[in-house]
Structure formats: structure tokens, C-alpha cells
Amino acid sequence: MNPFFMSLLLIVGLAIFGRTMVHKIRLLMALGPANRANHIKARLKNLVVLAMGQKRLVGRKKEWASGLMHALIFWGFCVLLIRSLTLYGEGFVQGFQLPFLGDRYILGYLYIAIKDIMEGIVLLMVVYAFIRRMILKPARLHNTWEAYFVLGMIGVLMISDLLYDGARYYLIMHHNNPAHLHFFNNPQYGSEFLWTPVSVGAGVFLAGLSADVIGYVMICMFWLHIITQLTFLNFLPLGKHFHVITALPNVYLKKLGYPHQKTKLLDLENEVAWEDESLGINHIHQLTWKQGLDLYTCTECGRCKEVCPTYITDKPLNLHDFNDKLKLELLDNADNIIKRAKLSATIKQDDAADQTDKIKTEMVELNSKKELIGDVIAQDTLWACTTCRACEEVCPVTIEHVPRIMAMRQGQTLMAEAYPKELNPSLKGLERNGNPWGIGYDKRADWAEGLDVKLMADDADVDYLLWVGCAGSFDDRSKKVSTSLVKILQKAHIDFAILGVEEKCTGDFARRVGNEMLYQMMAQENIETLNNYGVKKIITACPHCLNTLKHEYPQMGGNYQVMHHAEFIDQLVKEGKITLRKSLEDTLTYHDPCYLGRYNSIYDQPRSILNSISQDGLKELDRHGRESFCCGAGGGRMWMEETIGKRINLERAEEIVAKKATRVAVGCPFCLTMIEDGMKELDKEEEIKTRDIAELVAESLA
Amino acid sequence: MKILTTVKKVVDVELTMRVEDGAIVEDGMQYVINAWDESAVEASVQLKENNGAETTLVSVGGGDNTDMIRRCYAMGIENGIHIEDPALDKADSSIYARVLQMVYEKGDYDLVITGKQAQDTDSGQTGIILAEYLGLPCVSNVVAIEVLDGQHIKVSRSGDAGTEIVEMELPALITVDVSINEPRLPQMRGIMMAKKKKIEVMDLAALGVSADDISAAAPRSEIVEYMASKTRKGGQKFEGEPADITAQVVDLLANEAKVL
């Protein structure tokens, strides 16, 4: 078309884009470390399934329509990327063709056909997106001019390309190709216009115009398309549409093995870390580069807040807002963060103490002038989170929200000592008596009196340790679960013992509220006890204990095979060690505990058990499985008052009531308390009984 | 302002105390700071933070009190004195008060804050006896403190009929109730700093008192023996129709309790 103009556009467009990207990447490189380079195969699989396959967009029944819309636009873009290369080539050489995609190959024809149809589909999707934003207005969407602008640009890209081809079609086929334009015309596969119905259709708009006018239209559409595309490319990194560029790498770099970055085991004895305030996240520059990439990638789609138990019940935590505020703070401080990282790098080379101090002073001066917690993120926002992970499970671009919150809580508790003081009695209980209720540790095994349960101290040569947990030991309601579980294990002739007074809280609750010191104290004592007895296999009725014992104790040298009682009971049934009667006549439903489901992917075993004891089978709640709704007690919230908005457990209890269930099964002592309390509040506790899986199984033992 | 706070180590009342041969079974027992004293510590630290004060704590007897005193350091107390002497084995409130008096007189304190009572003996004597010995004005069961100026404080005393507001001239002594505050939980930073701090441990001689002086003071009370309290048996719950229940109750009263 015009090599000079094309060169100019490309040089300017790509140079500005390159400059923006270099700055964005330098900022990421100045942030904290995160190791995400391993397991290439597993990462590629995530890339294919989650990113290319758009699993979390098309795979959610609740949102299949908008999910499909997005997926089609995305897939359309992938297809059109190749087309763009052809168009850039066209700018330099008329009739430019890519290898194997030219008119000599069927592949070339197939490509133009697919491209043509995809353009039509994308255009339709853009129209749908406009209607959705302007008329349907789903609650989670955050309508901004940026969203409309980008949709508009996508529309322009499609229309310009379709009209460009439509104009070519008219000139070539209806005006005898006055400019001798190149087009696919292979004797075997015919003219390209037999393959491009949408473009030909677009040509209809040009019918009746003179060849000259159509020629102008063609040239205008060509350059409009190129200029829009380069503008689009340069616009992307500036706002939420950066995800077009960062989503694929972000999904590829997703945490593997465990749902998100595990809470960092802090070296509390490290005096330098105390001086540098580098325990937990206290300043924006302490995010890891992956957390920075998460912020770049947040698309503000609002799926996170839509499933968030705190947002739904009117707490101040709005994750999309949370991300946005952090991103703004990050970008506002970008230059200083980069300078800071450079200064930090010079320290390592220089050993003189006074020099180091001087540099550190300079570094402190580069800290953000805003308090991360207080000015950027409000206290109430930070402490609202129940760490339920619903947000992470639905995020299409796999943003890890919870680890950030955990690290900020560590910073607040350790460095600023600014945690909710209402936690003190529970924390003190943990410190003194190893349980958040603060009940004398000597009463820990009282529940087992008369049940003929062995103590490890008396016989450590057993197959399994039954980890009772604080609730199962001290909470009257949960003690019944412990008793039921013992009944089941005894019926199956399982050789097990408990630690009795030697067991302490795993420290889960302390860790979730950022009290790393107390967590490490608990973990260290427990690991010592467990390792002394040579414990290998652990069964527990508490998903929080399960999660901590299984995933967090290895960080401190405690490696055990840990099973939740639902897994173990399911195994006992399958092995024929216990037989269950289908004796339950109630309408039974199941509430997935977050730390069992989303944290440990245990969804099937509880259902398998419940289906084998219920006559009518399990009736699922609307929010179940991966998208189950938190009871409100996770993340240390069990030990805090819920004073803002509606109570989370009430919201869940109402859902259960609406489902007309008469019995609700749970697999977590906290869920048991919360759901039962919710039922009491609704005056439904007699009609709808809340029971742990173990209790239901114990009643149904044949 | 210089504040002296007294702390006592007591058995953790959350634990079930077992008694054998008239003595408490030590096995499995753990000792913690008396809750009222913990509130006294918190009150001192708050005065230090809000009004500027130098805080010193003193504990008398109880064996090795290092952990407890370090915990108080971690809460914000600056100096710690521990008086340990075999002569204190059978000390009661009046002896404690006598020793505390000597500690007080060695310093130049403006305000003494003690817990209202201790969780082990619940006698609530030490603070007020100490005030008597020192001839200081004393307000007990304090639930709020306000510093008026360098010479005066205003305290609220929770009484049966209401709250008394009392202005006191310093030096003075107050005993505090647990409701005065929610003691802070020592955090890592404080705990690390506390490890480096010294505790001044001394016996009676070092304090300038002879053991004989203490013996001469003779305790006003003596623990003769510990006895386990009788636990009440759980009640019996009857369910069903009132007529049936009545019959059951009558039967049990007549045949089991034999009171009818």
C-alpha cells in the first residue's frame, strides 16, 4: 500500500509500546522474588486449559453466556493475529502472503474462511457486550468509559477489516478489478470470495458506489484498521485491558501444587528483617513480582466480589477495588520502587556498615508516603477476609488474592502491632493453654473419657493418630463429632490413638491473623511431639487442622500423611470395613467447608458417603463445590465479632432453608457452629438439623 | 512520673487443681501472671505511653519469675525487680506488703499500682496493707485513671452503688480491677527486646532487710492445708409429659433420695 507510511506507523507504534512495556517489566523486576519457573509441562497445561481454553469463562454454568462471549472474542483475536501480520505485509508488498497460508494451500483458504467467520462472530459479541453493559447491567460489572472505548475499538477493528475485504470484493468482482488487486484465486479452490461470506456480505453496504469511491473506502479501512490496532496495542498497558497481554503469562505462572502461594515462613529471629520492616507486607514495594503481575492482570470483571462472602454481606472488602487500589499505589510509586531496588542491589557489594546504613536511609526515603494499611487499604477491609478462596477459584486469570491479604496481616500484627485487639483472649488462650477458648490444657482429653481411646503416651505403636483439634476437644457440640468418629474407627477396628493433653492448636488461627510468632510456637511444639512418637498417618475431623498439618508443617520439618475423616470414612466404606445403611429419610444437603474443598479439593468423598446413607440422595445447594459459600469463620474470623453488614452464616443458613433441606451435613467444626447458629437465629434449628458427616455415619452404621 | 507495679505469679486457674496429702499436685500445673496484676501492668504501660512515665515492676517470691517478668517487659515495662528469699516461703499478704514497702522506699516512686487481688488466694489484702505501711492515700478497685498534672490523678472506683470519682495527690497507691483494660498480648518485637533486658534479682539481705526482720514481722495468716472442693453432681433432666415426670420425680425422691 504505502511502505513509507506503514514503516512510520509501525516504528512509532511499536516504539511507544516497547517503552511502556520496558517500564512495566522493570517495575516487576524491582519487586520481591517468587519462584515460578519450574514444571513447564504443568504450566503449559494450565495455559492451554485455563487461558486458551477459557475454562473459567465458558465452564461456569452461572455465567456461560458472558463467558462464551469473552471466549469467542479471545479466540477471534487469536485467529486475527495472523491476519494482522498479513496486513502489515500488505503495507509493504501488494499481495503479501504468509508461508503455507497463501493461495497455493488449502490451509490458506481455510484460514481466511475461519478468520472471516470469526470476525463476524466477534462483531456480534461486541454488540452483545454493549447491550450487556448498557441494558442488562449485571451487578458485578464496573462500567467505565474505558470498557466502552475498548469495545468500540474492537468493533472498529472488525468493521474496518470486513469493509476492507468487502471493498476488495466489490472492486474485484463487480468493477473488473481496476487497480489489479491481488486476491486468492486458485483453480482448485476457486476465488477467495467463495470462502468469505461475511466480508462479501459486508460488501453489500458498498453496493451502488462508484469504483473510485469504493477504492477510497478500501484504502481508508485498511489504514483505519492498522492505526486502530496500533492505538489499541498502546492503550492496553495503560488500563485494565492490560490483561490482553498479561493474562497468558499470569496463568502460565500460576502457583502449582497448592492453590496459591503458601504463607511465607518468616525468620522471626532475623534482626535485619525487623529493622527493614520486611516481615510480611508493610509497603507496596514488598509485593512479589508475581503479585505485581496479578495487579497488572486484574480485569476488574468483578467475579471475585460476586462470590465473596464478605462483599455479599456488605463488608468493606471489595476485591476488585482492593486490586485497583494496590495497582494505583504500585504505579504511583513505580519510579521510586525501581530506584529502591537499584539501591538495594548496591548494598550486597558493599560491606562497610556505615555505608550500608546510609543506603538504607536513602531507601527508606523512597518508601511510599502512604501507609499501605490505613491509607491505601482500610483496616476493616483487610480483616474482613475469611480466606475462603472463592475469589481465587473463579478468577479467570488466576489472581492469588488471599496470600497478599495474609502477608499484609503478618505485617500488621508483627510490625505495626495493629491487629483487632478482640483477638487477644483467643491468642492468649493459645499461648497459655494451646487452644483459642483458653480452657485448661489438662482438660483436652476429657471428652474421650470412658470411650476406650488409647493415648500416644501409653501406646505410640499405632497405625493412625487421631488429631482431635481444639473444637473436637473443648467445644461441647464438636465433642459429639469426636465421639462419633471414635465410634466409627472402633467399629472398623482401626488401630489409633490420640495425643490427649500433648496436643495443641495447630496454630492455623494464629497464622491466618498474621501472628506468625504464635503459629511457629504451636507448630514447633506439635511437630516435636509428633516426631517424637514417630507419627506417620493422621486422621482429623477439622479441615483447618488438616490444611495446616498437611501443607504448612512440612515448612518446619513435620511431614505426615494427613487425611480428613471424610476421606478416611469413604475409604473404610470402599474397603468394606464398615457398612452403611441407607437410613436417612431427611432431605439432605451438604455445605462444603472451604479448607476441605477449595484448599484440599475434597469434594467427592463427602458426597459419596452422604449419598450412601441418604434415601433420597444428596440435594446440592446452589453454591456448592468449588463455588461453595463460606460459613464466615475462616481466616480467624471465628474469633472476631462480625459487626459490619449481614452475618455471613445467616446468609448461608437462609440459602439452606430456601433449599427446603431438613438436614445439612458439614465436615468442619467451625462450619458446624456457624451453620447451627444461623439456624438458631432463623428459629429453624429443630426443623433443619446441622450434623457433621461423622455423626450421620455413626447413626447409619450397619 | 515514676510508677511501681506489683506482680504475682499464680497457678493458671484454667487448670483443675488436684490436691494430695494436703498439698497441691505440682505435676502438670502451670503458673501465669495474676490477671489483676496483668491489668496493673497494662495500666502502667498505658500511663507511660500516654503521659510519659518510668515503669518498674516488682515481684516477691514464687521462685523463678523470669518468664513472667520478661513477658511484662515485652508489654512495655522498663525495669524489673524480683525479691527471692527462703524466708519468704510462708509469706502472706502482710509479709509481701512489708517487702514491697522496702522496695518502694528504695526508689522514688510517685504511684504504686497493684492488682486488686490475686487469683490464687483472692484475699485482696496486699495493696491496701502496703498503702497503710507507706502512709499513702489509697483507692481500691480502680477502673479508670486520668492524669491531671504532675501531682494529681483522678481515678474511678467501681463500688456497689455506682462509680466514685476520686482525685488523689501523688504519691499514692491504687489497686486496679481487671475491667480497667484489656491487657495487650506481647508481640515478637517486644519479646525480642525483652530478652536483652536485665532483671534485678535480690534476696532480703540485698534489699537491706534481714530474714529475721521478716520472721519477726510474723505472718498474720498461715496456710495449713489444701483441700479439694467437692464438685456438685450434674442434675438430672426429665423429659416427657408432666404427669409421667411427676411420677418419676416422686419415685426418685421416695426411693433414691429417701426424703419423702
Between CA A626 and CA B23 the distance in angstroms is: 57
Single out the residue of A72, A111, A109, A94 nearest to residue A222, CA to CA. A94
pLDDT score of A39 more than 70: yes
| Mean pLDDT on A658-665 | 94
pTM summary value: 0.91
| Mean pLDDT on B73-101 | 91
Tell me the C-alpha to C-alpha distance, in Å, between residue B208 and each of A30, B106, B204, B214: 62, 10, 6, 11
Judge: A268–B188 Cβ closer than 8 Å, yes or no: yes
Residue B233 lies in a domain: no
pLDDT digit string, tens, across residues B15-36: 988 888 888 888 889 999 999 9
pLDDT of residue B215: 65
Band of the pLDDT at A357, cuts 50, 70, 90?
confident
pLDDT of residue A347: 81
Residues forming beta bridges with residue B2, ordered by sequence position:
B54
| Mean pLDDT on A267-277 | 88
* Range of weakest confidence among A139-153, A426-440, A549-563: A139-153
Instruction: Determine contact: B17 vs chain A, CB below 8 A.
Output: no
pLDDT digit string, tens, across residues A280-292: 999 999 999 999 9
Tell me the C-alpha to C-alpha distance, in Å, between residue A402 and each of A257, A387, B2, B27: 16, 6, 46, 43
Taking the CA of residue B118 and the nearest CA in chain A, the distance in Å comes to 18
Residue B76 lies in a domain: yes
Between CA A150 and CA A232 the distance in angstroms is: 8
Judge: A424–B16 Cβ closer than 8 Å, yes or no: no
| Mean pLDDT on A90-107 | 89
A337 three-class SS: helix
Single out the residue of B54, B55, B71, B56 nearest to residue B9, CA to CA. B71
Q: Write out the residue range of the structural domain in which residue B49 sits.
A: 2-217
Q: CATH number for A3-29+64-245: choose from 1.20.5, 1.10.3470, 1.20.950, 2.40.50.
A: 1.20.950
pLDDT digit string, tens, across residues A675-684: 999 999 999 9
pLDDT of residue A358: 87
Between CA A676 and CA A477 the distance in angstroms is: 10
pLDDT score of B189 more than 90: no
pLDDT score of B211 more than 80: no
Give me the residue from A421, A431, A440 closest to B16, CB to CB: A440
Q: What is the dihedral of CA A247, A249, A252, A257, to 10 degrees?
A: -90
Residue B228 lies in a domain: no
Instruction: Determine contact: B191 vs chain A, CB below 8 A.
Output: yes
What does pLDDT average to over chain A? Answer: 94
Taking the CA of residue A649 and the nearest CA in chain B, the distance in Å comes to 28
Burial B93-125 (b: 16+ CB within 10 A, else e): bbbbbbbbbbbbeeeebbbbbbbbbbbebeebb
Q: Count structural domains, chain B.
A: 1
pLDDT of residue B227: 86
Between CA B260 and CA B251 the distance in angstroms is: 9
Residue B245 lies in a domain: no
Tell me what percent of the residues of chain B surpass a pLDDT of 90: 60
Residues forming beta bridges with residue B7, ordered by sequence position:
B59
Residues forming beta bridges with residue B146, ordered by sequence position:
B154
Quickly list H helices, A411-475: 424-433, 469-474
Give me the residue from A269, A414, A439 closest to B187, CB to CB: A414
Give me the residue from B16, B184, B189 closest to A442, CB to CB: B16
What residue ranges do the domains of chain A occupy?
A: 3-29+64-245, 271-422, 424-699
Residue B130 lies in a domain: yes
Tell me the C-alpha to C-alpha distance, in Å, between residue A487 and each of A14, A492, A650, A700, B257: 70, 9, 32, 11, 35
What does pLDDT average to over chain B? Answer: 91
CB atoms within 10 A of CB A128: 17
Cβ neighbors of A462 (< 8 A, separation 6 or more) are A454, A456, A495, A496, A497
pLDDT of residue B218: 67
Tell me the C-alpha to C-alpha distance, in Å, between residue A673 and each of A383, A472, A477, A481, A691: 21, 12, 8, 12, 10
pLDDT of residue A351: 67
Residue B260 lies in a domain: no
Q: What is the largest CA-CA distance in chain A?
A: 100
Q: Which residue of B has its CA nearest to A433?
A: B14
Contacts of B188 in chain A (CB under 8 A): 268, 414, 516-517
| Mean pLDDT on A462-490 | 97
Between CA A104 and CA A693 the distance in angstroms is: 66
Q: What is the largest CA-CA distance in chain B?
A: 76
Taking the CA of residue A412 and the nearest CA in chain B, the distance in Å comes to 11
Between CA B236 and CA B171 the distance in angstroms is: 57
pLDDT score of A349 more than 70: no
pLDDT score of B70 more than 70: yes
pLDDT digit string, tens, across residues A278-328: 999 999 999 999 999 999 999 999 999 999 999 999 999 999 899 999 999
CB atoms within 10 A of CB B52: 9
Give me the residue from A424, A441, A517 closest to B182, CB to CB: A424
Quickly list H helices, A508-550: 508-512, 516-532, 543-547
Dihedral-angle region of residue A531 (phi above 0 means left; psi in -120 to 50 means alpha; beta otherwise): alpha
pLDDT score of B134 more than 70: yes
pLDDT of residue A350: 61
The HSE-up count of residue A252 (CA atoms within 13 Å, CB side) is: 11
Cell of B49: 505511653
Taking the CA of residue A424 and the nearest CA in chain B, the distance in Å comes to 6
Instruction: Determine contact: B24 vs chain A, CB below 8 A.
Output: no
Its sign, for the CA torsion B102, B106, B110, B112, is negative
Residue B94 lies in a domain: yes
pLDDT of residue B170: 93
CB atoms within 10 A of CB A259: 20
Dihedral-angle region of residue A376 (phi above 0 means left; psi in -120 to 50 means alpha; beta otherwise): alpha
- Please indicate whether residue B229 or residue B184 has the higher confidence score (pLDDT): B184
DSSP letter assigned to residue B228: P
Cβ neighbors of A360 (< 8 A, separation 6 or more) are A276, A347
Quickly list H helices, chain B: 35-51, 66-75, 93-106, 126-134, 188-195, 204-207, 211-217, 242-251
CATH of the domain at B161: 3.40.50.620
A196 three-class SS: coil
Between CA A431 and CA B30 the distance in angstroms is: 12
pLDDT of residue B217: 65
What separation, in Å, do the N-terminal and C-terminal C-alpha atoms of chain A show? Answer: 83
Between CA B23 and CA A357 the distance in angstroms is: 58
pLDDT digit string, tens, across residues A615-631: 999 999 999 999 999 99
Cα-only R_g, chain B:
23
Judge: B192–A271 Cβ closer than 8 Å, yes or no: yes
Q: Provide φ and ψ at B238, rounded to 5°.
A: -105, 135
Single out the residue of A382, A386, A435, A444 nearest to residue A407, CA to CA. A382
A618 three-class SS: strand
Band of the pLDDT at B59, cuts 50, 70, 90?
very high
pLDDT of residue A34: 92
Cβ neighbors of B213 (< 8 A, separation 6 or more) are B204
Size of the A and B interface in Cβ pairs below 8 Å: 47
Q: Which residue of B has its CA nearest to A432?
A: B32
pLDDT digit string, tens, across residues B166-177: 999 999 999 999
pLDDT of residue B216: 62
Cell of A130: 454493549
Instruction: Determine contact: B196 vs chain A, CB below 8 A.
Output: no
Q: Domain spanning A271-422: which CATH class is it, in words?
A: mainly alpha
Tell me the C-alpha to C-alpha distance, in Å, between residue A361 and each of A30, A278, A365, B189, B225: 18, 15, 6, 21, 63
pLDDT of residue B221: 81
Between CA A290 and CA A253 the distance in angstroms is: 8
The owner of cell 510519659 is: B52
What HEC string does B113-174 produce? EEECCCCCCCCCCHHHHHHHHHCCCEEEEEEEEEEEECCEEEEEEECCCCEEEEEEECCEEE
Q: Which residue of B has its CA nearest to A423?
A: B185
Judge: A439–B14 Cβ closer than 8 Å, yes or no: yes
Q: What is the dihedral of CA B186, B192, B197, B200, to 10 degrees?
A: 50
pLDDT of residue B105: 93
Residue B259 lies in a domain: no
Check if A3-29+64-245 and A271-422 are the same fold. Answer: no
pLDDT score of A340 more than 70: yes
pLDDT digit string, tens, across residues A416-470: 889 999 999 999 999 999 999 999 999 999 999 999 999 999 999 999 999 999 9
Single out the residue of B223, B9, B206 nearest to residue B99, CA to CA. B206
Band of the pLDDT at A272, cuts 50, 70, 90?
confident
pLDDT score of A551 more than 80: yes
DSSP letter assigned to residue A605: H
Taking the CA of residue A446 and the nearest CA in chain B, the distance in Å comes to 12
Band of the pLDDT at B188, cuts 50, 70, 90?
confident
| Mean pLDDT on A107-122 | 94
Give me the residue from B12, B183, B184 closest to A440, CB to CB: B12
Its sign, for the CA torsion B162, B166, B172, B176, is positive
Judge: A424–B14 Cβ closer than 8 Å, yes or no: no
